[in-house]
Structure 1
Amino acid sequence: MERKKFLKSLVLAGAAGTVLASCANTEKEIKNMETSDGFKAGYIFHSVYFWLKDGIQEKEEKDFLNFFEILKKVPGVESCHIGKPAGTNARDVVDNSFSYHVMLTFSSLEAITAYEVHPDHLAGIDQYSKYWKQVEVRDTVLS
């Protein structure tokens, strides 16, 4: 009977090892995958949503857009995409109340960490924050 239990635990351990190895391989394959945009696992998507102040003038809004020109030139920024809310159907899970969205991409956590304290980034915030009433940031690392 003891031998039967021993053999059964060997089979279970072998099966568990196979499953774990296949999961590790899958995770490794995912980390080495590249998207059609050329982004790999480990890339950071830095999404920033801006709500501009009520009553902002057209001239002020155009000036605000210069902020993005500064940001995309900060070392470490791989790409910069700027947009406004899409006219998608209203749903409980959709928030189209923001004024602008910028998505910056970085190749690593080190790159975005350097960006966060870069003098041009900080100076841009100081110069253009007078135009917004709210900002929300969502950072995502690709896996």
Structure 2
Amino acid sequence: MALTNRRTFLQKAGLAAVGTSPLLPEPARKKDLLVHHVFFYLKDPQNAQHESQLLEGLGKLAQISTIQLSHIGRPARTSGDAIEKGYSLSWLCFFKNLIEEEIYQTDPIHLKFLEDYAHLWEKRVVYNALGKKG
């Protein structure tokens, strides 16, 4: 029970911090902020060339106009039973709202990314979270 309460508190505190962060552009601080987080599991995680290619593709995605803020990451060296470290790269981006994320999904840059880089991963897991202030 204590873990659930602590986890809930940390999740809410994190969402509150993101929603009010001065690092986000003003539109991203609105009540309908959508967080899009994708975890990529490369087919050959030891292949530096494949990782480099995926990094290149993710860099291209960052050019999509509806993205307010983006971040490319690797598994952090942290510990804990619930921490997932099996992915190769993560792609985190913020949208003003659900509509902006839907525009992103059909943007030609995104479609080209899927076409050009999907052969590199064996799996991708997507988490979308819609935040509400208040």
Regarding TM over 0.5, the answer is: yes
* Cα drift, residue 35 of structure 1: 3.3
Aligned 1:67-86 pairs, distance under 5 A: 67-86=57-76
Deviation string 1:15-46 (CA, Å, 9 cap, x unpaired) is xxxxxxxxxxxxxxx8xx73343433211110
2:93 matched to which residue of 1?
104
* Cα drift, residue 80 of structure 1: 0.8
Does the 8 Å contact 2:33/2:130 carry over to 1? yes
Distance 1:68 1:55 in 2: 16
Gaps (5+ residues) in structure 2?
Answer: 1-15
TM-score, normalisation: structure 2: 0.75
Within the candidate set 12, 18, 21, 1:35 is matched to 21
1:125 aligns with 2:114: yes
**Percent of aligned positions that are identical:** 23
RMSD: 1.8
Deviation string 1:43-63 (CA, Å, 9 cap, x unpaired) is 111000000112653222211
2:105 matched to which residue of 1?
116
TM-score, normalisation: structure 1: 0.71
Distance 2:51 2:123 in 1: 15
Number of aligned residue pairs: 111
Larger radius of gyration between Structure 1 and Structure 2: 1
Opposite residue 123 of structure 1, the aligned amino acid is K
2:13 matched to which residue of 1?
none
Matched residue of 1:77: which SS? coil
Distance 1:102 1:55 in 2: 16
Distance 1:56 1:85 in 2: 14
* Cα drift, residue 96 of structure 1: 1.1
Matched residue of 1:64: which SS? helix
Gaps (5+ residues) in structure 1?
Answer: 1-29
Does the 8 Å contact 1:56/1:131 carry over to 2? no
Within the candidate set 131, 134, 137, 2:126 is matched to 137
